[in-house]
Structure 1
């Protein structure tokens, strides 16, 4: 298999892609395990997750990969959100952090 490109996707999108592939034929072991994980831990529909990622991305400081991770984890507490943001060394003010928490709640 040749990889032409790659991009960050939410667990909801992973779930949809693998369900579609499952309906087209049998999944391999890793794909089955990934589908099981995505079904257990994805918290919203693909449409809802994509819209949340877009909203978060309106803040130009936040990278796509970080926005996807925020939506996948859906932190409830400021401390958890800050722990995700620290990976990219992002320093958001209190208003920006509360805005993100509002989007994902």
Structure 2
């Protein structure tokens, strides 16, 4: 069954899974082991300066809005800076799209 709300349309079973290559946006929490702005700088570089306001700094991490397929890439960028990622939680799907 095709989900025509997703852009591009995808099989409904793929939405919200690692096979989700739509431009649909999810609110994601990243818990990281750092006490400076290195991770925030990585997120700004990845997301773009125009989306900087969408990054929410929390006590032990950040909330961001990104497509599913970007999650592994962001984790890789953080780990490559020798910063631990303790958890990644997909909170909810938003009505926004990437672009």
Instruction: Tell me whether the two structures share a fold, i.e. TM-score over 0.5.
Output: no
Give the TM-score of the pair, scaled to structure 1: 0.28
Give the TM-score of the pair, scaled to structure 2: 0.29
Higher helix share: 1
Higher strand share: 2
